[in-house]
Homo-oligomer: A and B are copies of this chain.
Amino acid sequence: MIDPRLELLRAVDEHGTVTGAAEAMSRSPSGVSRQLRELARELGVALFDHVGRRVQLTEAGRTLVQHAHQLAEQAERALAAVRTTTDEISGQVVVAGHITALGSLIAPSIGRLHSRHSALRVIAEERQPREAIPGLLSAAIDLAVMPVTAEAPAVTDPRCAVLDIGVEPIDLLVSQTHRLVGADEIALIEAAAEEWILGSREHDSRTETLSACHRAGFNPRPAHYAQDWSAVAALVAANLGVALVPRSVPTQWYPGTSRVFLGGHAPPMRRIIACTRAGAEDTPALGVVVDELRDLARAWTSNQDPEMDIDMP
């Protein structure tokens, strides 16, 4: 809808080299160079300077990139407005999410959405948060579902809009022979004396578990380390420790474990968000998908106290 060369320029700004930008855009360096030269010629200004063997945007180039963001947003807004005029929800929405969101939110939503809006095609795509934003901006995907964690830091890119999906409780996973099996809504501090299964170093679930325990007022005693949820469940089932697992992780597939819901003052949980391109928030098709995801997320907390305070990182 808008000049693709602007996106090229943005990539050059981001990477600092034409080659890097070309790679990111799946183009050849010579092609990118050619396009940008033509763009600069049309505008009558130099868009970047050569510093060493690299390249750096001039003030004019940066100004153009900045305006390009606004243009892209307004173009998305135009598309949304056009689609709003047709009362039927139709079109195609590619929804990406990390593996557990895919299983617990996206996959279940597809059938329900299809039965309600037959002209709507929802396509699921597994994608890590890190890969999701670039895919969003390149229009390969339309909606990226992800938890708010350290690995997916606050989405501050002005080209993205963030929609809230809901909060997902985090449960304590214990062996089926554990003393806490059958307990109802214990406080996390009650598991302070346990041995813990933690995520691998610098990994997502590890920092989540640690910060949850710290907020509860103790430092977990680590026994074993595992990254994949099935490995965690196996360790728990073998009575080698307890672990924190988000509600959406399907541990029922791994026998020998039992979930204990956590209550108390500030039970651990994580916020699930969905990112779209700025300006596309109001697309009707996107709206019904987001509503459906929110509806499914609500099931996580519907049988819990809705007044509990949420901790955003």
Of the 9-residue stretches A18-26, A78-86, A94-102, A195-203, which lies at the interface with chain B? A78-86
CB distance from A74 to the nearest CB of B (A): 6
Encode A66-108 as 1/0 by CB contact (under 8 A) with B.
Answer: 0110110011011101111110001110000000000000000
The DSSP consensus for interface residues of chain A is: helix
A2 on the B face (CB < 8 A): yes
A90 partner residues in chain B, CB cutoff 8 A: 44
Known contacts A44-B90, A44-B91, A59 near B85 by CB under 8 Å: yes
A137 partner residues in chain B, CB cutoff 8 A: none
A77 partner residues in chain B, CB cutoff 8 A: 67
Known contacts A2-B1, A74-B70, A60 near B44 by CB under 8 Å: no
Known contacts A70-B74, A71-B71, A60 near B43 by CB under 8 Å: no
Q: Which residues of A from 36 to 68 have beta carbons under 8 Å from B?
A: 43-45, 58-60, 63-64, 67-68
A305 on the B face (CB < 8 A): no
Cα distance A58–B1 when bound, in Å? 20
A3 on the B face (CB < 8 A): yes
Interface centre among A44, A59, A71 (most CB of B within 10 A): A44
A81 partner residues in chain B, CB cutoff 8 A: 63-64, 67
Residue from B1, B3, B44, B86 in contact with A83 in the complex, judged by beta carbons closer than 8 Å: B44
Do the beta carbons of B67 and A74 come within 8 Å of each other?
Answer: yes
Closest residue of chain B to A81, judged by CB?
Answer: B63
CB distance from A64 to the nearest CB of B (A): 5
CB distance from A246 to the nearest CB of B (A): 35
Cα distance A90–B41 when bound, in Å? 12
Closest residue of chain B to A58, judged by CB?
Answer: B85
A60 partner residues in chain B, CB cutoff 8 A: 82-83, 85-86
- Given contact pairs A44-B91, A45-B82, A64-B81, enumerate 6 new A-B contacts (beta carbons under 8 Å): A2-B71, A43-B79, A45-B86, A63-B84, A71-B75, A71-B78
A71 partner residues in chain B, CB cutoff 8 A: 1-2, 71, 74-75, 78
Cα distance A64–B74 when bound, in Å? 12
A85 partner residues in chain B, CB cutoff 8 A: 45, 58-60, 63
